Each structure stands twice: as structure tokens, then as C-alpha cells.
Amino acid sequence: MKRRFKTLLFALVAMAMPLVASAQTKVEIGGIWYNLTAETLEAEVTKSDGTEYSGPITLTATVTYDDVAYSVTSIGDWAFNGCTDLTAITIPEGVTSIGNFAFHNCSSLTAITIPESVTSIGNKAFDICRSLTSIVVAKGNKVYDSRGDCNAIIETNSNTLIQGCATTIIPEGVTSIGDGAFRACSSLTTITIPKGVTNIGDEAFSNCGSLTAITIPEGVTRIGDETFYACTDLTDITIPEGVTSIGMSAFEACNNLTDITIPEGVTSIGDYAFLACDSLTAITIPESVTSIGYRAFNACRSLTSIVIAKGNKVYDSRGDCNAIIETNSNTLIQVFPCRSFVRRILYVVGGHT
């Protein structure tokens, strides 16, 4: 019995040891808050307990607390989130990780330099940094690069651009644009996506309100969720052949979009895909489409022409009714917003021509 008790006690102590080892102390040093880990003598930059960080900030490679030196190795999740008056940040060599949303919505931040030591950049670490015009990755970095002075962060092994800005030139060799890579780059007016890109992530260009033109290359097979959401100055876009799906809210609130070509091969159009595209006047649904999501074309106030390709087996616009009808259920799912036509459309759906 005693042996069993000792074994159990040993197991409990062993389980507790990692918890003790990872204990952190949160302190303020020189106006910056840190989580200090005594066992490893490492410091993580963390969110302020008081006033938000502002102005230019230079992080140091080491900090001292109670006469003990700690190496600054990480910038924690949300550390500078919402610091709208942060204008510049110097990240020292020795930092290996930048956490999720670390600089989210730092709307006055104009430039970032990623040191050679950084091996991990979290999800949307620099999301909604509207004023960014310069992004540099140190040349010795083995995980990320900004090849050809492209003003972007590229994950080297996967050739995925994970963060861009208003001055980014996407270089040849990039094959993927990551989720939210250009989100809320409000001064981005035009960008060329090279032919080798096959994936454009969710929210990649959402809320780029000044973007007027963009060409999607032939190799792309999917337009992600909210990819061009609220690109209010975008006037026209051609979706290339090879795309098979248009995601949820992909073009929602593109107020000045007047023309869209949906190619044969697209099988699904997501919920709210073109919701509130106020200037869109005409849509043609190709034969290949088998799924149209909830309110995909709702609130398109200028829409006057809706055509379904005659070979489509799921939807139709019988009798040139200018509507989308689900064929098997005889359900009208989209009509352009002109009340004088509603009676005629309902008459057609009822089986009269």
C-alpha cells in the first residue's frame, strides 16, 4: 500500500513540475510589459496593463529585473493589439516568435523589419495595419523572406505570401496568397498577381477600399470566403476558367462592381457572395453551377438581367423571366429588385409561359 502511495505521489509531483517550470511573472520594465520565466530566463513582450503602447518603440534583446537578466525571445499574442498610436517598432535579434494578432490594428505603424532569428509568425500578426508601406525580412532568416525587395513577408518553403502592404510587388515564385494577407490595406489601388499563384486565401484583399483593378491568374481554382469583401472601388473583375467555387461573401459590398463573368466550371457560389453589389447590372449563371448560397445576390439594386445557361440541371430562368429558379422545387430564389416584374415571375414559376 505504501509503495503504491509513493508511486502515486511521485507521479503527481512529476505532473506538477512542468506547471511550476512554466510559471511566469508579469512585470513592467522601461514602459514595456513582459512575462518573465525564471527557469529559462526568457522574457515575452505582453499586452500593457495600463495605457496602450504608443509612439516609436525599441525593444531590447535583454531586460533586467531584480538584478537578473532575461533574454527577450517572443512577442506574445495580442501584445500590441489596438495600439493605434504605435508609429514604429524595433524588434531585436534574438526574438524567435511573434504571436497571433501581435500587432493587430496598429493603424499608424508604417514599417516593420523581421530579424534573422524569427522562426514563427502567428496568425494575422500584422492584420489591419493600414499605414504599412515598408516590410523587410533580414536576409539571413531561414523561414521567411522578402525576396526582391517586394515589401512583403513570404514563408520561404511554401512560397506563401503571408503579409503584404500598399507598396507590395508580388514576386514570381509565390504560389499562394495567405488568409488576410492584404486585409484593410486602404491605400492599395492596384496589384498584379503573377501566373504561378494557385491559391488566394480567405479575406486576402478584404476591405481594400481603394483597390480598383486586379487580375486573377489562370491557375487559381477557388475564390475564398470574403476574399474581396468591401473592395468598394473595384469596378470589374474576371474570374478565370479553372475556378470551381466562389466563397461566402467573396465579393460582398463591392459597391462599384458593374460587371462580373462567372466562367463555366464554377460549381458553387457561396452565401452572400455578391450581396449588396449595388452597381452590378447583369449576371449569367453557367451550366456547371449546382449550388447557389443564401442571399448570394441580394440587395444588388441595379440588377436588371439574370440569365441561367439553358443546360443547367439545377436552376433555370424559364421564359426569360430574369430570375433564378430552383428547377425541381419550382422555388424562385433570386429576382432583380423591380416590383413591376414580380407578378410576371410568380406567374412563370407557377407553370405558365
Distances (CA, A) of 109 to 82, 134, 339: 11, 10, 49
- For residue 12, pLDDT over 80 is answered with no
Please classify residue 310 by burial: count the beta carbons closer than 10 Å to its beta carbon, then call 0-12 exposed, 13-18 middle and 19+ buried.
exposed
Each residue's pLDDT tens digit, 46-71:
999 988 999 999 999 999 999 999 99
Average pLDDT score over residue span 4-24: 46
Residue indicated by cell numbers 430570375: 323
Written as one letter, the residue type at 141 is N
Mean pLDDT of the chain: 90
- For residue 353, pLDDT over 70 is answered with no
- For residue 129, pLDDT over 80 is answered with yes
Contact 135, 153 (CB under 8 A): yes
Each residue's pLDDT tens digit, 222-267:
999 999 999 999 998 889 999 999 999 999 999 999 989 999 999 9
User: Where do the domains of the chain lie?
Assistant: 175-353
Written as one letter, the residue type at 224 is G
Of all residues in the chain, the percent with pLDDT exceeding 90 is: 84
pLDDT at 238: 86
Please classify residue 332 by burial: count the beta carbons closer than 10 Å to its beta carbon, then call 0-12 exposed, 13-18 middle and 19+ buried.
middle
Contact 277, 300 (CB under 8 A): yes
Average pLDDT score over residue span 296-300: 95
d(CA 262, CA 243): 9
pLDDT at 21: 39
pLDDT at 337: 58
3-state secondary structure of 283: strand
Long-range contacts of 334-339 (CB under 8 A, 24+ apart): 334/292, 334/296, 334/297, 334/298, 334/306, 335/306, 336/300, 336/303, 336/304, 336/305, 336/306, 337/299, 337/300, 337/301, 337/303, 338/304
| pLDDT tier at 336, thresholds 50, 70, 90 | low
Average pLDDT score over residue span 183-189: 94
**Of residues 335 and 129, more confidently modeled:** 129
Average pLDDT score over residue span 304-329: 95
d(CA 161, CA 169): 11
The Cβ of residue 351 has, within 10 Å, a number of other Cβ atoms equal to 8
Q: Span 175-353: which CATH code? A: 3.80.10.10
**Closest Cα partner for 182 from 166, 198, 160?**
166
d(CA 122, CA 18): 24
**Closest Cα partner for 33 from 14, 16, 57?**
57
pTM: 0.87
Contact 160, 181 (CB under 8 A): no
| pLDDT tier at 22, thresholds 50, 70, 90 | low
State how far Cα 332 lies from the chain centre: 33
- For residue 3, pLDDT over 90 is answered with no
